[in-house]
């Protein structure tokens, strides 16, 4: 629990968050992807419509949307795997998505699957076997219209 609080505090520090994105996820950093909210069970990640994130159709390029969606669940996975003993590796093994509206403005992705991720990590530590979990990240525009839904399958395994 203490580790989670420390991780959340780090990610809420703008300088540390920017440095993390720049060094670990540079494409997301330059696309403007940012972590806006983070708790043990949910996260909010944004991606703006900018010159760097645009496509020829005057909307946000789908890869930038995917980066934001993946980060909204991935930051919850990192939070729950942070400084675990034994260490746990994590990997995206599948991604599916549905698009509903043109992505313009700032798109906010929400993932509320922190409890599912925490349970999967606990299971892999307990059993020593790999565990997969499907997380859902939903992106909304400034008018609160659903723009896209991403289903991201994470695999967790105890590091040898």
Characterize 80-92 residue by residue with b for buried, 16 or more Cβ atoms within 10 angstroms of its Cβ, and e for exposed. Answer: bbbebeeebebee
pLDDT confidence band for 65 (50 / 70 / 90): very high
Fold of 2-158: Thiol Ester Dehydrase; Chain A (3.10.129)
Q: What is the pLDDT of residue 82?
A: 83
Residue 146 pLDDT greater than 70, yes or no: yes
Q: What is the pLDDT of residue 5?
A: 84
Q: Does the pLDDT of residue 1 top 70, yes or no? A: no
Average pLDDT, integer, range 64-91: 93
Residue 45 in this model has a pLDDT that exceeds 80: yes
Domain boundaries, the chain: 2-158
User: What is the arithmetic mean of pLDDT over 128-140?
Assistant: 96
User: Tens of pLDDT along 85-108?
Assistant: 889 999 999 999 999 999 999 999
Cα end-to-end distance, the chain, whole Å: 24
């Amino acid at each position: 629990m203490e580790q989670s609080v420390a991780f959340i505090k780090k990610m809420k520090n703008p300088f540390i968050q920017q440095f993390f994105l720049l060094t670990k996820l540079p494409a997301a950093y330059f696309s403007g992807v940012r972590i806006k909210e983070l708790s043990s069970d949910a996260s909010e990640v944004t991606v703006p419509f900018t010159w760097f994130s645009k496509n020829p159709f005057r909307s946000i390029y789908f890869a930038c949307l995917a980066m934001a969606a993946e980060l909204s669940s991935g930051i919850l996975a990192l939070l729950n795997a942070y400084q675990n003993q034994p260490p746990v590796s994590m990997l995206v093994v599948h991604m599916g998505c549905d698009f509903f509206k043109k992505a313009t403005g700032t798109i906010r992705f929400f993932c509320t699957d922190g409890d599912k991720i925490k349970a999967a990590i606990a299971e892999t530590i307990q059993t020593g076997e790999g565990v997969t979990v499907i997380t859902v990240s939903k992106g909304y525009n400034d008018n609160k219209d659903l723009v896209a839904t991403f289903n991201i399958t994470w695999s967790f395994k105890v590091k040898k």
